[in-house]
């Protein structure tokens, strides 16, 4: 096995895969990268048995073969080389010899057969959509995923395939996010899979560095996303997502429309004096204006008045300000709409005249 | 890689494989029994059997498929081991407990789909070393793990596990094999029938423990320690400097030897030819030593030694001081007044 590649060319793919490699590994081979040369293409793969990322680049003077090398050391070497350097790698007896200019390195290797790659994902469903749309879907929902919840099926993002749309849903039990993109999806009925938290975050990062088209493949126990030059695979959560439809408020009779920027800024200011642990904030809603109030155990208080359109009877309701702010930040329109019923019912936040992304926040008793 | 169960485990193995073929394999097993009877061996073989893609006769792993190769190299993604990790401060020493983070990590991976699409197997060993928090964080997963799961908890001391853990597992009790069978197995390995018989007796009939003794220098240490104790019993020797030497060796093992001698000494005090005797090779010497004590003294000594062993297993005790106390007790003067009463 042999290849030659510019330092700049190999650095980007390396930086994409390296975050998958965990620092503390039970299996020594997991702290290695799998390098495979096929034709004139080098694929670099990292895995932690939960998430696998593989990136392909073109190399020169390639000779086929496969091997694994210590991930961090390999990346550190490539990073430390001068910018215009060209890296030449040759596989020796049990070492990978690297040469660049006047530098020489010899890296310890482990056999490629020991590397637990996820083989073909038996595809149950496949769909293609633009990277842009997939990114919107995930970035609009991922922050609502639970973290280390005993309800393990909440520690991830649920993807739902239905004939007319692809939908992402995340919830931690206090708030919920639902985002849709319209796609013609070749399914009958509804299918759901849950992608674990780590995989979602990794995928979002990779999507940020790509453009073009994404192919999503759902297997029995894996989900695979193929981006140009990148292949992302993650295990799924082996569980059933709760019925989120019942959480979406149906009978809200009050509607608040307000400038998103103004509300966000007011909440950020007011929340400084809210209880640090519970972060409670009170909304007093009256026609033509709303007031947000916060106070803390030190008896400090903050209050701000905002102009807004409110349809319905006067009411008061409390929220965890963090949840409201997360939802407001995920919406991109100038105005936002909040649908409410009473101080004990959850609130729906969305962009006016759009059902693409919806956020549900449970109220707080203040 | 371990594939086959030990010969005396064939009935247990057959039972498990039968239940598997009927689709009635439980999702949590508690493998319990004295040390050295092959619980771990059984667990490893069962794990290999479940993960193998084409098990051969009696469900034994084939050893040739991809899953078996991955298992062999220790890189199988669906076998999750939770065991004592090296201490962070002293990497050459193992931690005495299984920590809550290890169990949380296990629960997380158990919630994911299987890497190879088949069974997910967890091996918790030694299970009784889980901290209270670790055990509690396991409960939910142990009760209803998602998918095809087998969680095996291996323990020598099931009594130390919380009842909430025990009640969530099906228990498989392991016992030492019949003497004949154990001796035959051990003789094949040691190629020395006499030594096999002695070691097996010393190991309470547990063949793997006997084999371990044969392979370590445990047996040699034993005779050296016996001399020390004999001199202490005569009133010679200095307990302080002796314990300073012995606590560095294997204190738990040393205390274990003393326990076994004392039990034999008590038997020998009553009869010249007791039906049950572990330390057959040194019976004469033990008898001589035993006659130097009263029966009451022997029982108190044994009690004290037993207590010391329990404290040592607990892990957080100063072994040197503990041995010093024991050695002093053998010296006779303090017997029955010191630790024994506590």
| Residue pair A210/A230 in contact by the 8 Å Cβ criterion | yes
Q: Give how far B252 is from chain A: nearest CA, Å.
A: 29
What CATH number should be reported for the domain holding residue B165? 3.40.50.300
Kindly tell me if the per-residue pLDDT of B218 is higher than 70: no
pLDDT, mean of residues A30-49: 94
Task: Identify the pLDDT of residue B335.
Answer: 45
Q: B81 and A26: CB-CB below 8 Å?
A: yes
Nearest to B112 among A148, A220, A236 (CB): A236
Nearest to A235 among B75, B81, B113 (CB): B113
Kindly tell me if the per-residue pLDDT of B314 is higher than 90: no
Chain B residues closer than 8 Å to A238 by CB: 111-114, 146-147
Range of the domain at B201: 177-215
Q: Give how far A114 is from chain B: nearest CA, Å.
A: 7
Q: Is B120 within the bounds of a domain?
A: yes
Q: Are residues B246 and B322 in the same domain?
A: yes
State the alpha helices, DSSP H only, in chain B. 10-21, 39-51, 66-72, 100-110, 132-143, 163-166, 179-190, 193-202, 207-215, 218-233, 239-246, 251-270, 283-290, 295-314, 319-331
List CB contacts of A158: < 8 A, sequence separation 6 or more.
Answer: A168, A169, A170, A192, A193, A194, A195, A241, A244
Banded model confidence at residue B332, pLDDT cuts 50, 70, 90:
low
Query: What values do phi and psi take at A60, rounded to 5?
Result: -110, 165
How much is the mean pLDDT over chain A?
93
pLDDT tens-digit readout, A92-128: 988 999 999 999 999 999 999 888 888 777 788 888 9
Q: For residues B128 and A25, which has the higher predicted lDDT (pLDDT)?
A: B128
Q: A152 and B108: CB-CB below 8 Å?
A: yes
Chain B residues closer than 8 Å to A222 by CB: 113
Q: Is B100 within the bounds of a domain?
A: yes
Task: Identify the pLDDT of residue B333.
Answer: 57
Banded model confidence at residue B251, pLDDT cuts 50, 70, 90:
confident
Burial group, residue B197, by CB count within 10 angstroms (0-12, 13-18, 19+): middle
Task: Identify the pLDDT of residue B339.
Answer: 43
Task: Identify the pLDDT of residue B340.
Answer: 40
Q: Is B342 within the bounds of a domain?
A: no
For B120, name the nearest residue in chain A, comparing CA atoms only.
Answer: A238
Task: Identify the pLDDT of residue B88.
Answer: 83
Q: A196 and B115: CB-CB below 8 Å?
A: no
How much is the mean pLDDT over chain B?
87
Q: B74 and A113: CB-CB below 8 Å?
A: no
Q: A220 and B70: CB-CB below 8 Å?
A: no
Task: Say how far apart CA A114 and CA A91 lie, in whole Å.
Answer: 17
Q: Give how far A253 is from chain B: nearest CA, Å.
A: 40
Banded model confidence at residue B334, pLDDT cuts 50, 70, 90:
very low
pLDDT tens-digit readout, B284-302: 899 999 988 899 999 999 9
Task: Identify the pLDDT of residue A54.
Answer: 96
Q: B73 and A114: CB-CB below 8 Å?
A: yes
Banded model confidence at residue B336, pLDDT cuts 50, 70, 90:
very low
DSSP 3-state of A92:
coil
pLDDT, mean of residues A184-206: 91
For A30, name the nearest residue in chain B, comparing CA atoms only.
Answer: B75
Q: Give how far B146 is from chain A: nearest CA, Å.
A: 6
- Domains defined along chain A, listed by start: 2-114 (3.10.150.10), 125-246 (3.10.150.10), 254-361 (3.10.150.10)
Q: For residues A6 and A22, which has the higher predicted lDDT (pLDDT)?
A: A6
Chain A residues closer than 8 Å to B147 by CB: 238
Q: A152 and B146: CB-CB below 8 Å?
A: yes
Q: Are residues B163 and B27 in the same domain?
A: yes
List CB contacts of B314: < 8 A, sequence separation 6 or more.
Answer: none
pLDDT, mean of residues B249-267: 87
Q: Are residues B154 and B181 in the same domain?
A: no
Q: Are residues B231 and B255 in the same domain?
A: yes
Q: Are residues B198 and B103 in the same domain?
A: no
Task: Say how far apart CA A156 and CA B287 lie, in whole Å.
Answer: 68
Task: Identify the pLDDT of residue B146.
Answer: 86
Task: Say how far apart CA A79 and CA B3 lie, in whole Å.
Answer: 45
List CB contacts of A303: < 8 A, sequence separation 6 or more.
Answer: A270, A291, A292, A293, A294
pLDDT tens-digit readout, B80-97: 999 998 888 888 878 888
Banded model confidence at residue A46, pLDDT cuts 50, 70, 90:
very high
Q: Give how far B232 is from chain A: nearest CA, Å.
A: 47
Q: Are residues B233 and B210 in the same domain?
A: no
Banded model confidence at residue B329, pLDDT cuts 50, 70, 90:
confident
Q: B112 and A114: CB-CB below 8 Å?
A: no
Chain A residues closer than 8 Å to B75 by CB: 27, 29-30, 114-116
For A195, name the nearest residue in chain B, comparing CA atoms only.
Answer: B112
Task: Identify the pLDDT of residue B341.
Answer: 39
Q: Is B153 within the bounds of a domain?
A: yes
Q: For residues B183 and B250, which has the higher predicted lDDT (pLDDT)?
A: B183
DSSP category for residue B57: G
Q: Is B341 within the bounds of a domain?
A: no
Q: Does A27 touch chain B (CB under 8 A)?
A: yes
Q: Give how far A215 is from chain B: nearest CA, Å.
A: 21
Q: Which of residues 120-179 of B touch A (CB under 8 A)?
A: 140-141, 146-147
Query: Which of A34, A221, A224 would best serve as a mutation to test chain B binding (most B beta carbons within 10 A)?
Result: A221
User: How many CB pairs below 8 A link A and B?
Assistant: 60
Q: What ipTM did this prediction achieve?
A: 0.78
Q: Are residues B191 and B83 in the same domain?
A: no
Q: Are residues B311 and B295 in the same domain?
A: yes
Q: Averaging pLDDT over each range in A149-163, B52-66, B322-336, which range is the top one? A: A149-163
Residue with tokens 């073969």: A65
pLDDT tens-digit readout, A212-258: 999 999 988 899 999 999 999 999 999 999 999 999 999 899 999 99
Q: Is B91 within the bounds of a domain?
A: yes
The pLDDT > 90 percentage for chain A reads 82
Q: Is B1 within the bounds of a domain?
A: no
Q: Are residues B160 and B225 in the same domain?
A: no
Mean pLDDT check: name the lowest of A169-173, A302-306, B3-7: B3-7
Q: Does B75 touch chain A (CB under 8 A)?
A: yes
Q: Is B203 within the bounds of a domain?
A: yes
- Number of structural domains chain B divides into: 3
Q: Give how far A218 is from chain B: nearest CA, Å.
A: 13
Q: Does A147 touch chain B (CB under 8 A)?
A: no
Task: Identify the pLDDT of residue A288.
Answer: 83
Q: Are residues B126 and B158 in the same domain?
A: yes
pLDDT tens-digit readout, B157-178: 899 999 999 999 999 999 999 9
Q: Are residues B320 and B274 in the same domain?
A: yes
Q: Are residues B161 and B184 in the same domain?
A: no
pLDDT tens-digit readout, A283-300: 999 988 899 999 999 999
Kindly tell me if the per-residue pLDDT of B25 is higher than 70: yes
Chain B residues closer than 8 Å to A50 by CB: 109, 112
Token code pair at residue B240: 């302080």
Burial group, residue A311, by CB count within 10 angstroms (0-12, 13-18, 19+): exposed
What are the beta bridge partners of residue A224? A217, A233
Q: Please, what's the b/e burial string for B54-66 (b: 16 or more CB within 10 A of its CB; e: otherwise)?
A: ebeeebbbbbeee
């Amino acid at each position: 096995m042999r290849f030659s590649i510019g330092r700049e060319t190999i650095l980007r793919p390396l930086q994409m895969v390296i975050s998958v490699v965990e620092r503390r590994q039970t299996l020594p081979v997991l702290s290695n990268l799998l390098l495979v040369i096929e034709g004139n293409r080098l694929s670099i793969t990292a895995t932690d048995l939960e998430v696998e990322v593989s990136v392909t680049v073109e190399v020169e003077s390639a000779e086929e073969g496969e091997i694994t090398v210590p991930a961090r050391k390999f990346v550190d070497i490539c990073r430390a080389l001068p910018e215009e350097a060209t890296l030449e790698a040759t596989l020796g007896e049990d070492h990978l010899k690297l040469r660049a200019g006047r530098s020489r390195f010899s890296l310890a290797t482990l056999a490629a057969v020991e590397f637990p790659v996820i083989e073909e994902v038996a595809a149950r469903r496949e769909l293609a959509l633009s990277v842009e749309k997939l990114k919107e879907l995930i970035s609009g929902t991922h922050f609502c995923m639970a973290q280390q919840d005993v309800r393990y099926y909440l520690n991830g993002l649920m993807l739902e395939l239905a004939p007319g749309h692809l939908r992402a849903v995340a919830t931690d039990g206090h708030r919920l996010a639902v985002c849709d993109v319209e796609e013609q999806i070749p399914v009958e009925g509804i299918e759901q899979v849950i992608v674990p938290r780590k995989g979602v975050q990794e995928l979002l990062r990779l999507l940020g560095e790509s453009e073009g088209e994404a192919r999503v493949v759902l297997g029995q126990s894996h989900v695979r996303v193929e981006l140009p030059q990148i292949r992302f695979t993650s295990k799924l959560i082996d569980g059933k997502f709760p019925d989120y439809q019942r959480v979406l408020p149906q009978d809200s009779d009050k509607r608040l429309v307000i400038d998103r920027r103004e509300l966000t800024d007011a909440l950020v200011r007011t929340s400084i004096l809210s209880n640090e642990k519970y972060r409670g904030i009170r909304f007093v809603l009256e026609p033509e204006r709303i007031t947000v109030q916060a106070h803390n155990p030190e008896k400090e208080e903050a209050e701000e008045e905002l102009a807004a359109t409110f349809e319905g009877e006067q009411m008061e309701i409390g929220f965890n300000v963090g949840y409201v702010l997360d939802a407001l930040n995920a919406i991109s329109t100038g105005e936002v709409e909040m649908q409410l019923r009473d101080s004990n019912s959850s609130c729906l936040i969305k962009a006016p005249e759009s059902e693409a992304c919806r956020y549900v926040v449970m109220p707080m008793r203040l | 890689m371990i594939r086959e169960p030990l010969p005396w485990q064939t009935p247990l193995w057959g039972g498990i494989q039968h239940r598997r073929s009927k689709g009635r394999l439980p999702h949590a097993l508690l493998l319990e029994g004295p040390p050295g009877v092959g619980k771990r061996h059984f667990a490893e073989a069962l794990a290999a059997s479940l993960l193998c893609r084409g098990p051969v006769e009696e469900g034994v792993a084939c050893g040739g498929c991809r899953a078996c190769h991955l298992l062999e190299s220790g890189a199988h993604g669906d076998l999750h081991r939770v065991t004592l990790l090296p201490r962070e401060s002293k990497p050459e020493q193992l931690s005495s407990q299984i920590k809550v983070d290890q169990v949380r990590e296990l629960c997380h991976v158990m919630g994911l789909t299987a890497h190879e699409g088949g069974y997910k197997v967890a091996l918790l060993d030694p299970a009784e070393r889980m901290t209270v928090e670790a055990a509690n964080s396991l409960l939910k997963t142990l009760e209803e793990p998602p998918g095809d799961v087998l969680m095996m908890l291996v323990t020598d001391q099931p009594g130390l596990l919380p009842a909430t853990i025990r009640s969530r597992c099906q228990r498989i009790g392991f016992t030492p094999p019949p003497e004949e069978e154990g001796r035959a197995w051990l003789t094949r390995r040691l190629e020395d029938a006499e030594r096999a018989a002695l070691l097996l007796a010393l190991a309470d009939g547990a063949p793997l423990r006997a084999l371990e003794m044969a392979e370590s220098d445990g047996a040699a240490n034993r005779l050296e320690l016996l001399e020390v104790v004999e001199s202490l019993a005569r009133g010679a020797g200095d307990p302080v400097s002796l314990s300073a030497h012995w606590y560095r060796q294997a204190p738990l093992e040393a205390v274990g030897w003393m326990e076994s001698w004392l039990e034999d000494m008590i038997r020998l005090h009553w009869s010249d030819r007791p039906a049950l005797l572990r330390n057959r090779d040194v019976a004469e010497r033990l008898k001589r030593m035993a006659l130097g004590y009263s029966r009451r003294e022997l029982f108190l000594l044994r009690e004290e030694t037993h207590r010391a062993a329990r404290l040592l297993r607990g892990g957080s005790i100063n072994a040197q001081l503990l041995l010093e106390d024991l050695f002093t007790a053998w010296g006779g003067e303090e017997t029955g007044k010191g630790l024994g009463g506590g």
